Amino acid sequence: MVTLEGVQKYYGTAHVLKGVDLKLGKGEFVAVTGSSGSGKSTLLNIIGGMDRPDAGKIFVDRNEISSYDDEKLTLYRRKKIGFVFQFFNLLPNITVIENVRIPLLLNGSRDEEMAHAFVSRVGLEGREDSYPHELSGGEQQRVAIARALVHDPDIILADEPTGSLDSSTGRAIMGLLTRLREETGKTILLVTHEEYISRYASRVLKIRDGIIRQ
């Protein structure tokens, strides 16, 4: 599903990724652990097409996305990738159902039934017309997960998805992600600095000083 070959990334003089090689199989749930500044989020951003490597190649479904121009990268993000972030990134002035519908609208779909189905799947049936500020942190993350999955992407990229939640809520969110992966067969790459979170994954990798350690 995803292959990285010798990926390097610099930010100014900082050498953040130092020749990363990585393979993710279809339907795999992989966690990448590491300290702050180790390159975890940069790795996700590059796979997700939000940033470009300075060297190396990235293949998704045998297509070299590292060679894409901006227009093709935008389409790749819209079609293939679902993002889950630490701070939810919900739009505060629109409702739950409207937040979930955003990826569908970007892809030219007005399938409201799909949006309602995913709100229900993450356990928020009846909260469709609520606004983000009316929800708990855990509920907001459930909305973010529904939004990440609603357009049927192949890959879910989760950047510290429990980092702003207490441990009990974090476990509930990880249980939800695990169940949804089992139901949908999505490939999940999650980065975290919390050891208990990585235990939900089928494979755990460590990144240290910009290098993946198997």
- pLDDT tens-place string over residues 147-179: 999 999 999 999 999 888 888 999 999 998 998
Question: Mean pLDDT highest for which of 29-43, 126-140, 163-177?
Answer: 126-140
Q: Which residue has the tokens 């409702």?
A: 95
Say what percent of the chain tops pLDDT 90: 72
Report the alpha-carbon distance of residue 34 to residue 45 in Å, rounded.
16
Topology adopted by domain 2-213: Rossmann fold (3.40.50)
Distance from C-alpha of 65 to C-alpha of 79, rounded to nearest angstrom: 13
Predicted confidence at residue 214, as pLDDT, reads: 67
Average of per-residue pLDDT values in the chain: 92
For the stretch 56-100, pLDDT in tens is: 999 999 999 999 999 999 999 999 999 998 888 999 999 999 999
Asked whether the predicted pLDDT for residue 42 surpasses 80, the reply is yes
Cα–Cα distance measured from residue 213 to residue 155, given in angstroms and rounded to the nearest whole number:
22
Distance CA 204, CA 156 (A): 16
The pTM for the full model equals 0.91
Q: Rounded to an integer, what distance in angstroms lies between the CA atom of residue 153 and that of residue 83?
A: 10
100, 129 Cβ separation under 8 angstroms: no
